[in-house]
Amino acid sequence: MSRHIRLVAVATAALAASLLSAPVHAAPGSAVPMGAAAPVGGAPRTGFELSDGARWTTQAEERQFLTAVDRATDRVGVSTIGTTGQGRPVRLVRVGGSRTTTSRILLVCSQHGDEPSGREACLSTVRDLAYAADPGTRRLLSRTTVFVIPTANPDGRAADTRGNADGVDVNRDHIALKTAEGRAVAAVIRDHRPDVIYDLHEYGGTPRFYDKDLLSLWPRNLNTASPVHREARTLSERYVRPAAHDAGFSTGVYGIWTDPVTGEPVKQVAGDGQERILRNAAGIKHSVGLLVETRTDPLTDEERNDEAVNNRRRVTSQLVALHAAFAFTEERRDRIEAATSAARTAGLLDRGPIHLGGADNDPADPAEVIEDPPCGYHLTPEQYADVQDELALHGVRSRPDRHGAYVPLRQSQRALVPLLLDERAAYRLTEGRAVPDC
């Protein structure tokens, strides 16, 4: 890891500790300092910070917090991008965004309502970016717009449930787009075309398989362009995990393919190549995607005896990893933009196979590969009426005609089209008629 990233990791650890008013658990030799300090300049604090980690920030507190940050600086803008089934707003926060910015990073927090630590990290990060006066942060924001969806599943967060108010897992809805929450995320990706999509989650520990403080996983879907896939793995393996390790946290890759002790196959795939999961949808849509999971279960006596200690460890590990993602965005800016730009234009060439299954660790069966893709798919008027909104939210271009609509493959979202419309696709919107001749 470069000297610059090491400094970021140390600074991030210090920042994370400063946000908490009691010592944070970390492994022996941790770089995380003890002690506490209030946020700079009397800036607002989250409910989590005010309670010393004893409880999570309420939605009323989130609204008040974001309003205060928005009013305090012109670096921040807060908008509503959707409304849930129970009438709660899904908010998007923009930080930075001057005319000279070139890079865009999207943070998606708490898609699962019972996984709150990423939301807390996102909220405090919005505040810290907004109020920061140091040259490094100013330089980052002069060239990067940071978009944050602090609570991607407000109804689930209110009920402390994984799914939304209808019991739907939002992180399995990034193809069908049946939920208000999934549609809101899709619209942000379409409208802002983030170079990096960073998805914050938590997981329940399973000793021997899952017992690390922090796990991460990149897009495994085989339709992810090779340069985008390479940058996503770099984000995980050279930035997020090393930074967490340097701060004293144990790390690993999410998804256990073999038993770490016996070597026997386990194939706990964590949805490896499924296009409906956000980290894979991000890759297919030409963004450098990463899923990050922090462990909810306490492992030390201190964490077992005091829930706040465990909560602080969860949030701190998220903060360390998140700030490493900012360092990645800053240090590899040119490589990231080259990768995402090339991927977005490659579909216009209309070449190469498209994969309906498989993953980067599990080759697709021949039946799961369209070796010679059609020119496009034709939809009947009834089909088009049923799916035109979803196609538009995905940023897929279609041509309505008197017989329905034609959806060509020759477009930026080329690989996505068959996943939405081919009769063999697992999570298709509808079964379009393949048009072999252009």
d(CA 99, CA 283): 26
Given a contact cutoff of 8 angstroms between Cβ atoms, the answer to whether 147 and 106 are in contact is yes
Q: Which CA distances in Å does 361 have to 222, 261, 357, 378? A: 10, 20, 12, 33
* Sheet hosting strand 214-217, strand order edge to edge: 76-83, 89-96, 144-149, 103-109, 196-203, 288-295, 214-217, 251-253
CA dihedral 15, 20, 22, 24 (to 10 degrees): -60
Q: How, if at all, do strands 433-435 and 376-379 pair? A: antiparallel
Tell me the per-residue pLDDT of 305-324, one tens digit each, with 9 for 90 and over: 999 999 999 999 999 999 99
Give dist(CA 300, CA 397) in Å, integer: 53
CA 136 to chain centre: 24
Residue 27 token pair? 């492994």
Residue 326 phi/psi, 5° resolution?
A: -65, -40
Tens of pLDDT along the chain (438 residues)?
Answer: 443 344 344 444 444 444 333 333 333 222 222 223 346 668 999 999 999 999 999 999 999 999 999 999 999 999 999 999 999 999 999 999 766 668 999 999 999 999 999 999 999 999 999 999 999 999 999 999 999 999 999 999 999 999 999 999 999 999 999 999 999 999 999 999 999 999 999 998 777 777 899 999 999 999 999 999 999 999 999 999 999 999 999 999 998 767 777 877 766 667 889 999 999 999 999 999 999 999 999 989 999 999 999 999 999 999 999 999 999 999 999 999 999 999 999 999 988 999 999 999 889 999 999 999 999 999 999 999 999 999 999 999 999 999 999 999 999 999 999 999 999 999 999 999 999 988
DSSP-based three-state secondary structure for 38: coil
Q: pLDDT tens digit string along 387-428?
A: 999 999 999 999 999 999 999 999 999 999 999 999 999 999
**Structure-token pair, residue 266:** 């386990």
Coil, strand or helix at 182: helix
> How many helices and strands in the chain, by DSSP H and E?
15, 16
Which single residue is written with the structure tokens 């017989």?
A: 403
Q: Look up tokens 């995990």; give the residue.
A: 241
- Tokens encoding 3: 């000297």
d(CA 11, CA 29): 16
